[in-house]
Amino acid sequence: MPWQLLAAEIGFTIKVVPVEANGALDMGAYRELLSERTKLVAVNHVSNALGTINPVQEMAALAHQHGALILIDGAQAAPHQVVDVQAINADFYAFSGHKVYGPTGVGVLYGKQALLEAMPPWQGGGEMIKTVSFDAGTTFAAIPHKFEAGTPAIAEVIALGRALEWVESVGVNAIGAWEGQLLDYATQAVGGIDGLRILGTAPHKAGVLSFVVEGAHSQDIGLLIDQLGIAIRTGHHCAQPLLAHFGVDATCRASFAAYNTLEEVDSFIEALHRVIGMVR
C-alpha cells in the first residue's frame, strides 16, 4: 500500500513477485521481472503472515546486477536470526522496536552511507540543520542527524537499546533455534487435526504457524481460544493479496517467541481442539 501511494504521487510501475504453493517466492519469476528499468526491490526478510524466510542475499545480488537497489523489511527477522547487512549487501534494512521485545513507536533504518548522504531530509525540524539563512537558504547536518528532525523518542530509543542488549545476551541464534523447535513441535501436533490447513510450508521458516480450519472462521477461533487463555493473531495480517493467493480472507497465526515453552504449545493444541469442537 505505501508503494501504491508513492506510485500515485511520482509515477512508477509496481511489479509483484508471485508466490509458490508452499509460500516461497518464485525466484524464477523474480529473475524474469528484473530489468535495467528496475529501480528498487522491496522485500520482507521473513513473511509475517507465513513465516517464510526469503533468500534476501540472493535477491540483493540479482537486483544489483540490474543496477537496482534493495530495501529489506526485517521486522520479522531481526529478533529471530542473526542479520548481517553487509553480507546480505542490503542497501536499506529496517525493523521495528516492538518486534525485538522493545517499545512501540520506534525502529531502526540502516542504509549505506553513500545512499543516505545523497538523500534529502524527509522532514524538517530542530537538530537536523547545519545553517539557516533567509538569503543563502538552509544546509543540513550530516547523517544520521539530517533524518532526525525535532525531539526524538528519547525514552523509546533507550528502551530499544536495552531490549537489544537482552536479545544479544540470550543469543539470537539460540532464540531462533528454540523457536524452530517450538514450531516443529506445534506443526506436528496440528497435523492430525481434521480440516486444518497450514499456510506456508516452505522449508525455511521462522516461528510462525499460520492456518485455517474448514467450516470455521478464523476470527471465531481467535475469540474463543482467547477465552481459554491462549493469545493468537487472526485476520489478514496486512497481507490481503497474499491470503487471496491462497483463497482465504483471514488466517489464525500462532507466533512463537523466546519465552514460550513446549508446555504452552501443548496448552495451545488442547485449547484449539476444544474451540474447533465448539464452532463446527
pLDDT tens for 108-162 read 999 999 999 999 998 999 889 999 999 988 999 999 999 999 999 999 999 999 9
Confidence of residue 280 (pLDDT cuts 50, 70, 90): confident
Cβ–Cβ under 8 Å, residues 279 and 221: yes
159: its cell numbers: 528502551
pLDDT at 34: 98
- For residue 132, how many other CB atoms are within 10 A of its CB? 9
Give the residue-averaged pLDDT of 12-36: 98
Residues 6+ apart with CB under 8 A from 86: none
Q: How confident is the model at residue 19 (pLDDT cuts 50, 70, 90)?
A: very high
In this prediction, residue 71 carries a pLDDT of: 99
Residue holding cell 517467541?
Answer: 257
CA 65 to chain centre: 25
CB-based contacts of 242, cutoff 8 Å, min separation 6: 19, 47, 49, 50
pTM to 2 decimals?
Answer: 0.94
**Domains of the chain by start residue, with CATH:** 2-169 (3.40.640.10), 172-273 (3.90.1150.10)
Of 79, 50, 59, which is closest to residue 198 (Cα–Cα)? Answer: 50
| Pairing status of strand 129-133 against strand 69-73 | unpaired
For residue 173, pLDDT over 90 is answered with yes
Instruction: Transcribe 52-107 into DSSP letters.
Output: BB--HHHHHHHHHHTT-EEEEE-TTTTTTS---HHHHT-SEEEEEGGGGT--SS-E
Given pLDDT bands bounded at 50, 70 and 90, which one contains residue 97?
very high
**71 forms bridges with which residues in the sheet?**
42, 92
Q: Find all residues with CB under 8 Å of 269, minimum gap 6, and list them.
A: 186, 189, 190
pLDDT band of 234, cuts 50, 70, 90: very high
Burial 204-239 (b: 16+ CB within 10 A, else e): ebbbbbbbbbeebebeebbebbeeeebebbbbbbeb
Residue 195 has what pLDDT?
A: 95
Which amino acid, residue 222? G
Is the CA virtual torsion 25, 55, 212, 242 positive or negative?
A: negative
Residues acting as catalytic residues = 238
Burial of residue 142 (CB within 10 Å: 0-12, 13-18, 19+) is: exposed
Alpha helices (H) in the chain, listed in sequence order? 2-10, 27-33, 56-65, 85-88, 113-118, 154-170, 172-190, 218-227, 240-245, 262-279
* CA–CA distance, 259 with 126 (Å, rounded to integer): 40
